[in-house]
Protein backbone atom coordinates (compact mmCIF):
# COMPACT_ATOMS: atom_id res chain seq x y z
CA UNK A 1 0.00 0.00 0.00
CA UNK A 2 1.40 3.39 -0.95
CA UNK A 3 2.33 5.82 1.77
CA UNK A 4 0.96 9.33 2.22
CA UNK A 5 4.60 10.46 2.13
CA UNK A 6 4.92 9.25 -1.46
CA UNK A 7 2.19 11.54 -2.76
CA UNK A 8 1.91 15.31 -2.96
CA UNK A 9 1.71 17.77 -0.10
CA UNK A 10 -1.80 18.68 -1.24
CA UNK A 11 -2.97 15.07 -1.10
CA UNK A 12 -1.47 14.60 2.36
CA UNK A 13 -3.12 17.75 3.70
CA UNK A 14 -6.48 16.64 2.28
CA UNK A 15 -6.10 13.22 3.94
CA UNK A 16 -5.25 14.72 7.34
CA UNK A 17 -8.05 17.28 7.15
CA UNK A 18 -10.61 14.62 6.19
CA UNK A 19 -9.49 12.24 8.95
CA UNK A 20 -8.24 9.63 6.47
CA UNK A 21 -4.73 10.01 7.90
CA UNK A 22 -3.30 11.30 11.17
CA UNK A 23 -0.45 13.75 11.59
CA UNK A 24 1.02 11.45 14.24
CA UNK A 25 1.12 8.41 11.95
CA UNK A 26 2.65 10.41 9.09
CA UNK A 27 5.35 11.93 11.32
CA UNK A 28 6.11 8.51 12.83
CA UNK A 29 6.62 7.03 9.38
CA UNK A 30 8.80 9.96 8.31
CA UNK A 31 11.09 9.51 11.30
CA UNK A 32 11.21 5.75 10.67
CA UNK A 33 12.43 6.55 7.16
CA UNK A 34 15.21 8.69 8.63
CA UNK A 35 16.37 5.73 10.72
CA UNK A 36 16.15 3.35 7.75
CA UNK A 37 18.17 5.75 5.56
CA UNK A 38 21.03 5.57 8.06
CA UNK A 39 20.84 1.85 8.82
CA UNK A 40 23.05 0.62 5.99
CA UNK A 41 21.00 -2.59 5.82
CA UNK A 42 20.78 -2.38 2.02
CA UNK A 43 24.56 -2.18 1.75
CA UNK A 44 24.53 1.57 1.18
CA UNK A 45 26.49 4.09 3.21
CA UNK A 46 24.30 6.00 5.71
CA UNK A 47 22.51 8.93 4.08
CA UNK A 48 23.35 11.12 7.11
CA UNK A 49 20.82 13.74 6.07
CA UNK A 50 19.98 14.68 9.67
CA UNK A 51 22.00 16.10 12.56
CA UNK A 52 19.10 15.92 15.04
CA UNK A 53 15.78 14.05 14.97
CA UNK A 54 12.74 14.75 17.15
CA UNK A 55 12.05 11.24 18.44
CA UNK A 56 9.32 12.50 20.79
CA UNK A 57 6.85 12.33 17.90
CA UNK A 58 3.75 13.03 19.96
CA UNK A 59 5.24 16.22 21.34
CA UNK A 60 6.50 17.26 17.91
CA UNK A 61 3.00 16.91 16.47
CA UNK A 62 1.42 18.57 19.50
CA UNK A 63 3.69 21.61 19.01
CA UNK A 64 1.75 22.25 15.79
CA UNK A 65 -1.68 21.07 16.93
CA UNK A 66 -3.37 24.40 17.62
CA UNK A 67 -5.52 26.46 15.28
CA UNK A 68 -7.94 25.66 12.50
CA UNK A 69 -8.35 22.16 11.14
CA UNK A 70 -8.18 23.63 7.63
CA UNK A 71 -4.58 24.74 7.98
CA UNK A 72 -2.43 24.91 4.84
CA UNK A 73 0.17 22.31 5.89
CA UNK A 74 -1.86 20.17 8.29
CA UNK A 75 0.12 17.04 9.16
CA UNK A 76 3.00 17.73 6.73
CA UNK A 77 6.39 16.60 8.14
CA UNK A 78 9.13 19.06 7.35
CA UNK A 79 12.91 19.12 7.86
CA UNK A 80 14.89 22.25 8.68
CA UNK A 81 18.49 23.03 7.85
CA UNK A 82 20.44 23.11 11.10
CA UNK A 83 21.15 26.83 10.97
CA UNK A 84 17.47 27.73 11.49
CA UNK A 85 16.73 28.30 15.18
CA UNK A 86 14.37 25.95 17.01
CA UNK A 87 13.40 25.52 20.65
CA UNK A 88 12.88 21.75 20.69
CA UNK A 89 16.10 20.78 18.89
CA UNK A 90 19.66 22.05 19.01
CA UNK A 91 20.98 24.42 16.34
CA UNK A 92 24.58 23.43 15.59
CA UNK A 93 25.22 25.04 12.18
CA UNK A 94 27.23 21.89 11.47
CA UNK A 95 30.01 23.20 13.74
CA UNK A 96 31.74 21.91 16.85
CA UNK A 97 31.63 25.40 18.32
CA UNK A 98 27.81 25.12 18.58
CA UNK A 99 27.63 21.36 19.07
CA UNK A 100 25.30 21.52 22.07
CA UNK A 101 23.63 24.88 21.44
CA UNK A 102 19.86 25.10 21.88
CA UNK A 103 18.37 28.42 20.82
CA UNK A 104 16.30 30.41 23.34
CA UNK A 105 13.93 31.44 20.52
CA UNK A 106 12.57 30.12 17.23
CA UNK A 107 12.89 31.49 13.72
CA UNK A 108 9.92 33.33 12.25
CA UNK A 109 9.57 30.67 9.55
CA UNK A 110 9.34 27.94 12.20
CA UNK A 111 6.47 29.72 13.90
CA UNK A 112 4.70 30.08 10.55
CA UNK A 113 5.16 26.40 9.75
CA UNK A 114 3.81 25.32 13.12
CA UNK A 115 0.82 27.68 12.79
CA UNK A 116 0.09 26.10 9.39
CA UNK A 117 0.06 22.63 10.96
CA UNK A 118 3.44 21.30 9.79
CA UNK A 119 5.41 18.93 12.03
CA UNK A 120 9.12 19.66 12.48
CA UNK A 121 10.77 16.23 12.35
CA UNK A 122 14.45 17.16 12.55
CA UNK A 123 17.41 19.35 11.63
CA UNK A 124 19.49 18.55 8.56
CA UNK A 125 23.17 18.28 7.70
CA UNK A 126 24.95 21.29 6.24
CA UNK A 127 28.42 22.55 5.49
CA UNK A 128 29.70 24.29 8.62
CA UNK A 129 27.99 27.68 8.99
CA UNK A 130 26.60 27.13 5.46
CA UNK A 131 30.08 27.58 3.94
CA UNK A 132 30.45 24.94 1.26
CA UNK A 133 28.97 23.30 -1.80
CA UNK A 134 29.02 19.61 -0.89
CA UNK A 135 28.38 19.11 2.89
CA UNK A 136 31.93 17.74 3.06
CA UNK A 137 32.67 20.55 5.53
CA UNK A 138 30.12 19.43 8.12
CA UNK A 139 31.62 18.70 11.53
CA UNK A 140 29.23 15.74 11.83
CA UNK A 141 30.00 14.01 8.56
CA UNK A 142 28.65 14.67 5.07
CA UNK A 143 25.18 13.93 3.80
CA UNK A 144 25.05 11.71 0.73
CA UNK A 145 23.21 11.87 -2.57
CA UNK A 146 20.27 9.41 -2.61
CA UNK A 147 20.83 8.77 -6.33
CA UNK A 148 24.45 7.67 -5.76
CA UNK A 149 25.80 7.60 -2.24
CA UNK A 150 29.35 7.94 -3.49
CA UNK A 151 28.43 11.43 -4.66
CA UNK A 152 27.72 14.68 -2.86
CA UNK A 153 24.15 15.98 -2.47
CA UNK A 154 25.40 19.53 -2.99
CA UNK A 155 25.68 22.17 -0.34
CA UNK A 156 25.47 23.86 1.87
CA UNK A 157 21.86 22.67 2.31
CA UNK A 158 22.67 19.14 1.16
CA UNK A 159 20.93 17.37 4.04
CA UNK A 160 17.59 19.03 3.34
CA UNK A 161 17.84 18.22 -0.37
CA UNK A 162 18.82 14.61 0.35
CA UNK A 163 15.92 14.18 2.79
CA UNK A 164 13.37 15.28 0.18
CA UNK A 165 14.97 13.32 -2.66
CA UNK A 166 15.11 10.17 -0.51
CA UNK A 167 11.39 10.34 0.27
CA UNK A 168 11.84 11.05 3.98
CA UNK A 169 9.66 14.14 3.64
CA UNK A 170 8.03 15.98 0.75
CA UNK A 171 9.38 19.41 1.69
CA UNK A 172 12.21 21.00 3.66
CA UNK A 173 13.78 24.37 4.35
CA UNK A 174 17.35 25.33 3.57
CA UNK A 175 19.30 28.56 3.34
CA UNK A 176 20.94 30.38 0.43
CA UNK A 177 23.91 32.71 0.38
CA UNK A 178 25.32 31.87 -3.05
CA UNK A 179 23.30 28.92 -4.35
CA UNK A 180 22.96 26.61 -1.36
CA UNK A 181 19.35 25.65 -2.13
CA UNK A 182 19.36 25.63 -5.93
CA UNK A 183 22.62 23.69 -6.37
CA UNK A 184 21.66 20.77 -4.06
CA UNK A 185 18.18 20.73 -5.59
CA UNK A 186 19.76 20.27 -9.03
CA UNK A 187 22.14 17.58 -7.77
CA UNK A 188 19.32 15.66 -6.05
CA UNK A 189 16.66 16.04 -8.76
CA UNK A 190 14.11 18.12 -6.83
CA UNK A 191 12.79 21.69 -6.79
CA UNK A 192 14.72 24.36 -4.89
CA UNK A 193 13.53 27.95 -4.43
CA UNK A 194 15.48 31.05 -3.43
CA UNK A 195 13.23 34.07 -2.71
CA UNK A 196 13.85 37.72 -3.44
CA UNK A 197 15.99 39.19 -0.67
CA UNK A 198 13.57 40.35 2.02
CA UNK A 199 10.65 38.16 0.88
CA UNK A 200 11.12 35.58 3.68
CA UNK A 201 12.12 36.68 7.17
CA UNK A 202 15.71 35.88 8.17
CA UNK A 203 14.92 36.15 11.88
CA UNK A 204 16.31 33.00 13.47
CA UNK A 205 18.59 32.15 10.54
CA UNK A 206 22.14 32.08 11.86
CA UNK A 207 23.98 34.73 9.88
CA UNK A 208 26.70 33.93 7.36
CA UNK A 209 26.68 36.97 5.03
CA UNK A 210 23.75 39.15 6.02
CA UNK A 211 23.28 41.02 2.72
CA UNK A 212 23.18 37.72 0.79
CA UNK A 213 21.46 35.24 3.13
CA UNK A 214 17.97 33.91 2.37
CA UNK A 215 15.82 31.07 3.68
CA UNK A 216 14.74 28.83 0.80
CA UNK A 217 12.35 25.96 0.13
CA UNK A 218 12.82 22.43 -1.22
CA UNK A 219 9.98 20.38 -2.67
CA UNK A 220 9.63 17.11 -4.50
CA UNK A 221 7.45 18.93 -7.02
CA UNK A 222 6.74 22.57 -7.90
CA UNK A 223 3.36 22.61 -6.16
CA UNK A 224 4.85 21.13 -2.97
CA UNK A 225 7.41 23.93 -2.82
CA UNK A 226 4.78 26.55 -3.69
CA UNK A 227 2.55 25.56 -0.76
CA UNK A 228 5.41 25.95 1.72
CA UNK A 229 6.64 29.15 0.08
CA UNK A 230 3.19 30.72 0.50
CA UNK A 231 3.21 29.87 4.21
CA UNK A 232 6.70 31.13 5.12
CA UNK A 233 6.89 34.30 2.98
CA UNK A 234 5.70 37.76 3.98
CA UNK A 235 6.82 40.84 5.94
CA UNK A 236 8.31 40.59 9.43
CA UNK A 237 9.07 44.19 10.39
CA UNK A 238 8.96 43.36 14.10
CA UNK A 239 11.94 40.99 13.96
CA UNK A 240 13.81 41.51 10.68
CA UNK A 241 14.86 44.99 9.59
CA UNK A 242 15.68 43.67 6.11
CA UNK A 243 12.22 42.18 5.65
CA UNK A 244 10.53 43.80 2.65
CA UNK A 245 7.24 45.61 3.26
CA UNK A 246 5.73 43.91 0.22
CA UNK A 247 2.71 41.69 0.60
CA UNK A 248 3.39 38.45 -1.29
CA UNK A 249 1.20 37.15 -4.06
CA UNK A 250 0.16 33.52 -3.78
CA UNK A 251 2.61 31.54 -5.90
CA UNK A 252 0.54 28.35 -5.92
CA UNK A 253 -1.37 28.09 -9.22
CA UNK A 254 -2.55 25.65 -11.84
CA UNK A 255 -0.06 24.73 -14.59
CA UNK A 256 -0.88 26.67 -17.72
CA UNK A 257 0.49 28.06 -20.94
CA UNK A 258 3.22 30.68 -21.27
CA UNK A 259 1.67 32.78 -24.02
CA UNK A 260 3.12 36.28 -23.90
CA UNK A 261 6.05 35.24 -21.71
CA UNK A 262 9.55 36.04 -22.97
CA UNK A 263 12.33 33.82 -21.57
CA UNK A 264 15.94 34.92 -21.96
CA UNK A 265 18.89 32.58 -22.47
CA UNK A 266 21.98 34.49 -21.23
CA UNK A 267 25.00 33.71 -23.40
CA UNK A 268 27.34 33.88 -20.39
CA UNK A 269 25.56 30.93 -18.74
CA UNK A 270 26.29 28.62 -21.68
CA UNK A 271 30.11 28.77 -21.97
CA UNK A 272 32.19 26.29 -23.95
CA UNK A 273 33.23 24.68 -20.65
CA UNK A 274 29.63 23.74 -19.79
CA UNK A 275 29.03 19.97 -19.75
CA UNK A 276 27.43 19.29 -23.17
CA UNK A 277 24.83 17.00 -21.64
CA UNK A 278 23.82 19.71 -19.14
CA UNK A 279 23.50 22.15 -22.04
CA UNK A 280 21.30 19.65 -23.87
CA UNK A 281 18.96 19.15 -20.90
CA UNK A 282 18.53 22.90 -20.39
CA UNK A 283 17.89 23.46 -24.08
CA UNK A 284 15.22 20.73 -23.87
CA UNK A 285 13.62 22.85 -21.14
CA UNK A 286 13.64 25.87 -23.48
CA UNK A 287 11.95 23.76 -26.16
CA UNK A 288 9.33 22.73 -23.59
CA UNK A 289 8.76 26.38 -22.69
CA UNK A 290 8.33 27.26 -26.36
CA UNK A 291 5.82 24.43 -26.72
CA UNK A 292 3.82 26.08 -23.94
CA UNK A 293 3.77 29.38 -25.84
CA UNK A 294 6.86 31.20 -24.52
CA UNK A 295 9.13 33.27 -26.74
CA UNK A 296 12.83 32.38 -26.34
CA UNK A 297 15.28 35.22 -26.72
CA UNK A 298 19.10 35.32 -26.59
CA UNK A 299 20.34 37.91 -24.07
CA UNK A 300 23.60 39.00 -22.44
CA UNK A 301 24.64 39.65 -18.83
CA UNK A 302 28.16 40.95 -19.51
CA UNK A 303 29.48 41.13 -15.93
CA UNK A 304 28.65 37.52 -15.06
CA UNK A 305 32.31 36.45 -15.15
CA UNK A 306 33.02 38.82 -12.24
CA UNK A 307 30.30 37.37 -10.00
CA UNK A 308 32.30 34.60 -8.30
CA UNK A 309 35.33 36.84 -7.51
CA UNK A 310 33.02 39.58 -6.16
CA UNK A 311 30.99 37.09 -4.13
CA UNK A 312 34.09 35.57 -2.53
CA UNK A 313 35.15 39.00 -1.33
CA UNK A 314 31.76 40.20 -0.07
CA UNK A 315 30.56 36.98 1.58
CA UNK A 316 33.76 36.25 3.57
CA UNK A 317 33.96 39.91 4.62
CA UNK A 318 30.46 39.74 6.11
CA UNK A 319 31.18 36.30 7.58
CA UNK A 320 34.28 37.56 9.39
CA UNK A 321 32.12 40.14 11.16
CA UNK A 322 29.18 37.80 11.87
CA UNK A 323 31.31 34.95 13.22
CA UNK A 324 33.30 37.14 15.59
CA UNK A 325 30.57 36.51 18.18
CA UNK A 326 31.69 32.88 18.59
CA UNK A 327 34.42 33.56 21.11
CA UNK A 328 33.79 31.10 23.95
CA UNK A 329 32.28 33.76 26.20
CA UNK A 330 28.66 34.42 25.24
CA UNK A 331 27.53 30.95 24.11
CA UNK A 332 28.83 27.82 22.46
CA UNK A 333 32.01 25.91 23.15
CA UNK A 334 34.70 27.30 25.45
CA UNK A 335 38.20 25.83 25.50
CA UNK A 336 40.35 26.82 28.45
CA UNK A 337 43.99 27.41 27.59
CA UNK A 338 46.54 28.23 30.28
CA UNK A 339 48.48 31.44 29.71
CA UNK A 340 49.76 33.52 32.56
CA UNK A 341 50.50 36.43 30.21
CA UNK A 342 47.14 36.74 28.45
CA UNK A 343 44.60 34.08 29.54
CA UNK A 344 41.62 35.72 27.76
CA UNK A 345 43.38 35.85 24.40
CA UNK A 346 44.57 32.26 24.83
CA UNK A 347 40.99 31.15 25.51
CA UNK A 348 39.72 32.96 22.40
CA UNK A 349 42.40 31.40 20.21
CA UNK A 350 41.94 27.88 21.57
CA UNK A 351 38.14 28.04 21.34
CA UNK A 352 38.06 29.29 17.76
CA UNK A 353 40.91 27.04 16.60
CA UNK A 354 39.20 23.94 17.97
CA UNK A 355 35.64 25.03 17.22
CA UNK A 356 35.97 26.11 13.57
CA UNK A 357 36.81 23.81 10.68
CA UNK A 358 39.27 24.61 7.88
CA UNK A 359 36.77 26.10 5.39
CA UNK A 360 35.24 28.45 7.95
CA UNK A 361 38.71 29.45 9.10
CA UNK A 362 39.75 30.11 5.50
CA UNK A 363 36.79 32.39 4.88
CA UNK A 364 37.17 34.28 8.18
CA UNK A 365 40.82 34.96 7.37
CA UNK A 366 39.99 36.04 3.83
CA UNK A 367 37.19 38.30 5.01
CA UNK A 368 39.29 39.89 7.71
CA UNK A 369 42.04 40.55 5.18
CA UNK A 370 39.81 42.30 2.61
CA UNK A 371 38.33 44.53 5.31
CA UNK A 372 41.68 45.46 6.85
CA UNK A 373 43.31 48.88 6.57
CA UNK A 374 44.91 49.37 3.19
CA UNK A 375 42.89 46.64 1.48
CA UNK A 376 39.26 47.73 1.95
CA UNK A 377 39.24 49.98 -1.13
CA UNK A 378 41.26 47.56 -3.24
CA UNK A 379 38.98 44.59 -2.59
CA UNK A 380 35.71 45.13 -0.73
CA UNK A 381 34.76 48.48 -2.26
CA UNK A 382 35.57 47.23 -5.76
CA UNK A 383 33.57 44.04 -5.18
CA UNK A 384 30.57 46.13 -4.16
CA UNK A 385 30.94 48.15 -7.36
CA UNK A 386 30.90 44.90 -9.35
CA UNK A 387 27.75 43.90 -7.47
CA UNK A 388 26.11 47.10 -8.69
CA UNK A 389 27.13 46.27 -12.28
CA UNK A 390 25.60 42.79 -11.98
CA UNK A 391 22.36 44.27 -10.65
CA UNK A 392 22.34 46.71 -13.57
CA UNK A 393 22.84 43.87 -16.08
CA UNK A 394 19.74 42.08 -14.82
CA UNK A 395 17.73 45.32 -14.66
CA UNK A 396 18.61 46.10 -18.28
CA UNK A 397 17.56 42.67 -19.53
CA UNK A 398 14.28 42.70 -17.65
CA UNK A 399 13.56 46.26 -18.81
CA UNK A 400 13.96 45.07 -22.41
CA UNK A 401 10.83 42.94 -22.16
CA UNK A 402 12.26 39.68 -20.86
CA UNK A 403 10.08 38.24 -18.09
CA UNK A 404 12.47 35.58 -16.75
CA UNK A 405 15.77 33.90 -17.55
CA UNK A 406 16.41 30.21 -18.16
CA UNK A 407 19.90 28.87 -17.42
CA UNK A 408 21.73 25.78 -16.14
CA UNK A 409 21.71 25.56 -12.36
CA UNK A 410 25.14 23.87 -12.17
CA UNK A 411 27.98 23.28 -14.66
CA UNK A 412 27.90 19.49 -14.09
CA UNK A 413 25.84 16.82 -12.31
CA UNK A 414 26.79 15.80 -8.75
CA UNK A 415 30.47 14.96 -8.32
CA UNK A 416 32.05 12.24 -6.21
CA UNK A 417 33.25 12.81 -2.68
CA UNK A 418 36.84 14.05 -2.71
CA UNK A 419 36.76 14.81 -6.43
CA UNK A 420 37.26 18.56 -5.87
CA UNK A 421 40.04 19.44 -3.45
CA UNK A 422 40.99 22.87 -4.81
CA UNK A 423 38.90 25.55 -3.01
CA UNK A 424 38.75 27.73 -6.14
CA UNK A 425 37.45 24.86 -8.23
CA UNK A 426 34.81 24.18 -5.58
CA UNK A 427 33.79 27.85 -5.53
CA UNK A 428 33.27 27.72 -9.29
CA UNK A 429 30.49 25.16 -8.86
CA UNK A 430 28.40 28.19 -7.81
CA UNK A 431 29.15 30.14 -11.00
CA UNK A 432 25.53 30.14 -12.23
CA UNK A 433 23.88 30.73 -8.84
CA UNK A 434 25.78 33.51 -7.03
CA UNK A 435 24.51 36.19 -9.41
CA UNK A 436 20.92 35.99 -8.13
CA UNK A 437 22.13 36.44 -4.54
CA UNK A 438 24.26 39.43 -5.48
CA UNK A 439 21.32 40.99 -7.35
CA UNK A 440 18.74 40.04 -4.66
CA UNK A 441 16.56 38.27 -7.24
CA UNK A 442 14.27 35.23 -6.90
CA UNK A 443 15.55 32.09 -8.58
CA UNK A 444 14.68 28.41 -8.54
CA UNK A 445 15.95 25.10 -9.87
CA UNK A 446 13.62 22.54 -11.45
CA UNK A 447 14.52 19.01 -12.63
CA UNK A 448 15.08 18.77 -16.38
CA UNK A 449 16.42 15.26 -16.96
CA UNK A 450 19.35 13.04 -16.04
CA UNK A 451 22.85 12.21 -17.26
CA UNK A 452 23.85 8.58 -16.59
CA UNK A 453 21.25 8.44 -13.85
CA UNK A 454 22.32 11.72 -12.21
CA UNK A 455 19.81 14.59 -12.08
CA UNK A 456 20.27 17.90 -13.89
CA UNK A 457 18.50 21.15 -13.01
CA UNK A 458 17.42 24.17 -15.03
CA UNK A 459 17.37 27.53 -13.28
CA UNK A 460 14.68 30.19 -13.61
CA UNK A 461 15.62 33.75 -12.54
CA UNK A 462 12.96 36.48 -12.33
CA UNK A 463 12.83 40.18 -11.43
CA UNK A 464 12.77 41.04 -7.74
CA UNK A 465 9.46 40.14 -6.06
CA UNK A 466 8.21 38.43 -9.23
CA UNK A 467 7.99 35.02 -7.58
CA UNK A 468 4.52 34.32 -8.94
CA UNK A 469 5.74 34.80 -12.51
CA UNK A 470 8.75 32.59 -11.76
CA UNK A 471 6.51 29.81 -10.43
CA UNK A 472 4.29 30.16 -13.50
CA UNK A 473 7.25 29.19 -15.67
CA UNK A 474 8.21 26.36 -13.29
CA UNK A 475 4.70 24.87 -13.26
CA UNK A 476 4.58 24.97 -17.07
CA UNK A 477 8.00 23.36 -17.49
CA UNK A 478 7.17 20.59 -15.04
CA UNK A 479 3.87 19.88 -16.80
CA UNK A 480 5.39 19.92 -20.28
CA UNK A 481 8.46 17.82 -19.45
CA UNK A 482 6.48 15.31 -17.40
CA UNK A 483 8.43 12.13 -16.69
CA UNK A 484 11.27 13.34 -18.90
CA UNK A 485 12.27 15.76 -16.14
CA UNK A 486 13.16 12.80 -13.91
CA UNK A 487 14.57 10.40 -16.49
CA UNK A 488 16.71 10.98 -19.60
Burial class (CB in 10 A: 0-12, 13-18, 19+), 422: exposed
Marked catalytic residue, from 64, 180, 196, 320: 180
Three state DSSP letters for 285-335: HHHHHHHCCCEEEEECCCCHHHHHHHHHHHHHHHHHHHHHHCCCCCCCCCC
With a CB cutoff of 8 Å and minimum separation 6, the contacts of 450 are: 189, 413, 456, 486, 487, 488
Burial class (CB in 10 A: 0-12, 13-18, 19+), 245: exposed
Q: How many CB atoms are located within 10 Å of the residue 388 CB?
A: 13
User: What is the rounded CA–CA span in Å between residue 229 and residue 66?
Assistant: 21
Report the phi/psi class of residue 33: left, alpha or beta, with left for phi > 0 and alpha for psi in -120 to 50.
alpha
Instruction: Report yes or no: 425 and 286 within 8 Å, Cβ to Cβ.
Output: no
* Beta bridge partners of residue 215, listed in sequence order: 175
User: What is the rounded CA–CA span in Å between residue 436 and residue 178?
Assistant: 8
Marked catalytic residue, from 30, 37, 64, 81: 81
C-alpha 368 chain-centroid distance: 26
CA angle 369, 370, 376 (to 5 degrees): 125
Q: Is 353 among the catalytic positions?
A: no
Q: Is 180 among the catalytic positions?
A: yes
Instruction: Report yes or no: 280 and 401 within 8 Å, Cβ to Cβ.
Output: no
Marked catalytic residue, from 156, 157, 196, 201: 156
Peptide bond into 156 cis (omega under 30): yes
Q: Is 37 among the catalytic positions?
A: no
Closest CA to 218 of 162, 178, 136: 162
Which residues carry out catalysis?
A: 81, 156, 180
Amino acid sequence: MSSRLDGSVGALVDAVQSGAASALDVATESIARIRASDSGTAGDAPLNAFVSVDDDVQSAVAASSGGSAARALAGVPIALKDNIATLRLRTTCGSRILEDHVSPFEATVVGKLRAAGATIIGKTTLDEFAMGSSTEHSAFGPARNPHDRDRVPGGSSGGSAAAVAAGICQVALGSETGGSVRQPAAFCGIVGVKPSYGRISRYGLVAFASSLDNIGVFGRAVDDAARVFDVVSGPDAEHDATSAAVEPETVQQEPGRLDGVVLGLPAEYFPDSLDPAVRDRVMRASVAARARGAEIRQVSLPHTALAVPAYYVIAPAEASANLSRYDGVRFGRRVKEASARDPLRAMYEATRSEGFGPEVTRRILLGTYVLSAGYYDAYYRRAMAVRDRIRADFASVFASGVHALLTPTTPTPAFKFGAISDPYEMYMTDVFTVTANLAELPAMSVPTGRISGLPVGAQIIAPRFAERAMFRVAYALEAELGGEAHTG
